[in-house]
Amino acid sequence: QVQLVESGGGLVQPGGSLRLSCAASGSIFVIYGMGWYRQAPGKQRELVATITSGGTTNYTDPVKGRFTIFRDNPKNTVYLQMNELKPEDTALYYCKGDIRDRSTRYVMNYWGQGTQVTVSS
């Protein structure tokens, strides 16, 4: 059994910063790529940032230069540092991980339940 738990969301003023965390736990054998997605009301879920097991990162254009994804492999945790936040960043943020289960040896996509980020004055 594998689960991802996000934390760190909240209310922040425009121009402020937040750091989101996503901790994986359970029957983990190997964690491959991980990523952050977000969904605002009335919009489709979009990819925000990804990071491979080797540390290669990718970002959607609206967050480039403002957001940073990084991971702490011994802690099975991925982070999203969000700076210079804008109202349009307001969304429910989800963590996704490609994880090989220790027992089944199957690779599956696991999703967290999301953490709300609201940017408003």
- Dihedral sign, Cα of residue 21, residue 24, residue 30, residue 33: negative
pLDDT digits (tens, 9 = 90+) for 80-103: 999 999 999 999 999 999 999 999
Q: What is the pLDDT of residues 2-45, one digit of tens each?
A: 999 999 999 999 999 999 999 999 999 999 999 999 999 999 99
Look at the block and give the residue holding tokens 């925000």.
48
Strands 18-26 and 77-82: antiparallel
